[in-house]
Protein backbone atom coordinates (compact mmCIF):
# COMPACT_ATOMS: atom_id res chain seq x y z
CA UNK A 1 0.00 0.00 0.00
CA UNK A 2 1.12 3.57 -0.65
CA UNK A 3 0.78 6.34 1.95
CA UNK A 4 1.81 9.99 1.88
CA UNK A 5 3.96 11.30 4.71
CA UNK A 6 4.01 15.00 5.57
CA UNK A 7 6.94 16.25 7.62
CA UNK A 8 7.08 19.58 9.44
CA UNK A 9 9.73 21.56 11.29
CA UNK A 10 12.80 19.54 12.29
CA UNK A 11 11.45 16.41 10.60
CA UNK A 12 11.31 18.22 7.27
CA UNK A 13 14.98 19.06 7.73
CA UNK A 14 15.84 15.51 8.84
CA UNK A 15 14.28 13.90 5.78
CA UNK A 16 15.11 16.69 3.33
CA UNK A 17 11.53 16.89 2.08
CA UNK A 18 8.12 18.01 3.23
CA UNK A 19 6.13 15.32 1.44
CA UNK A 20 7.17 11.74 0.71
CA UNK A 21 5.22 8.76 -0.59
CA UNK A 22 6.21 5.39 0.87
CA UNK A 23 5.13 1.82 0.29
CA UNK A 24 4.17 -0.15 3.38
CA UNK A 25 2.95 -3.66 4.02
CA UNK A 26 -0.83 -3.92 4.47
CA UNK A 27 -1.73 -3.85 8.16
CA UNK A 28 1.16 -1.58 9.15
CA UNK A 29 0.40 0.44 12.28
CA UNK A 30 1.42 3.99 13.01
CA UNK A 31 3.94 2.72 15.59
CA UNK A 32 5.51 0.37 13.05
CA UNK A 33 5.85 3.29 10.64
CA UNK A 34 7.50 5.38 13.37
CA UNK A 35 9.96 2.54 14.09
CA UNK A 36 10.73 2.14 10.39
CA UNK A 37 11.48 5.86 10.03
CA UNK A 38 13.57 5.86 13.23
CA UNK A 39 15.71 3.04 11.86
CA UNK A 40 16.54 5.21 8.85
CA UNK A 41 17.16 8.57 10.53
CA UNK A 42 19.10 9.38 13.69
CA UNK A 43 17.24 12.72 13.96
CA UNK A 44 13.87 10.97 13.80
CA UNK A 45 15.03 8.28 16.21
CA UNK A 46 15.79 10.99 18.79
CA UNK A 47 12.23 12.37 18.43
CA UNK A 48 10.21 9.19 17.94
CA UNK A 49 8.80 9.18 21.46
CA UNK A 50 7.25 12.63 21.05
CA UNK A 51 5.99 12.41 17.45
CA UNK A 52 2.21 12.56 17.08
CA UNK A 53 0.38 11.19 14.05
CA UNK A 54 -2.51 12.74 12.23
CA UNK A 55 -4.07 10.50 9.59
CA UNK A 56 -6.35 12.17 7.08
CA UNK A 57 -6.49 15.32 9.26
CA UNK A 58 -7.36 13.53 12.52
CA UNK A 59 -5.01 12.68 15.37
CA UNK A 60 -4.73 8.93 15.88
CA UNK A 61 -3.20 6.58 18.40
CA UNK A 62 0.04 4.96 17.17
CA UNK A 63 -1.69 1.56 17.33
CA UNK A 64 -4.03 2.61 14.51
CA UNK A 65 -3.74 0.47 11.39
CA UNK A 66 -2.86 2.52 8.33
CA UNK A 67 -4.65 2.13 4.99
CA UNK A 68 -3.73 2.56 1.35
CA UNK A 69 -3.93 6.22 0.34
CA UNK A 70 -3.69 7.61 3.88
CA UNK A 71 -2.24 11.10 4.28
CA UNK A 72 -0.09 11.00 7.42
CA UNK A 73 1.27 14.11 9.14
CA UNK A 74 4.22 13.63 11.47
CA UNK A 75 3.94 16.31 14.13
CA UNK A 76 6.54 17.23 16.74
CA UNK A 77 6.00 19.41 19.81
CA UNK A 78 6.22 23.13 19.24
CA UNK A 79 7.56 25.59 21.76
CA UNK A 80 8.10 29.28 21.76
CA UNK A 81 6.60 32.49 22.92
Look at residue 80 and tell me whether its pLDDT is greater than 60.
no
pTM for the structure as a whole: 0.87
pLDDT tens per residue, range 23-76: 999 999 999 999 999 998 888 888 899 999 999 999 999 999 999 999 999 988
Domains and CATH numbers, the chain: 2-75 (3.10.20.30)
- How buried is 63 (Cβ within 10 angstroms: 0-12 exposed, 13-18 middle, 19+ buried)? exposed
Residue 81 — very low, low, confident or very high, per pLDDT cuts 50/70/90? low
Amino acid sequence: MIVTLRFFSVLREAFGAGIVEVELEPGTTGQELIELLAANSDEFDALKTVVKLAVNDEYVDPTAVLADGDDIAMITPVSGG
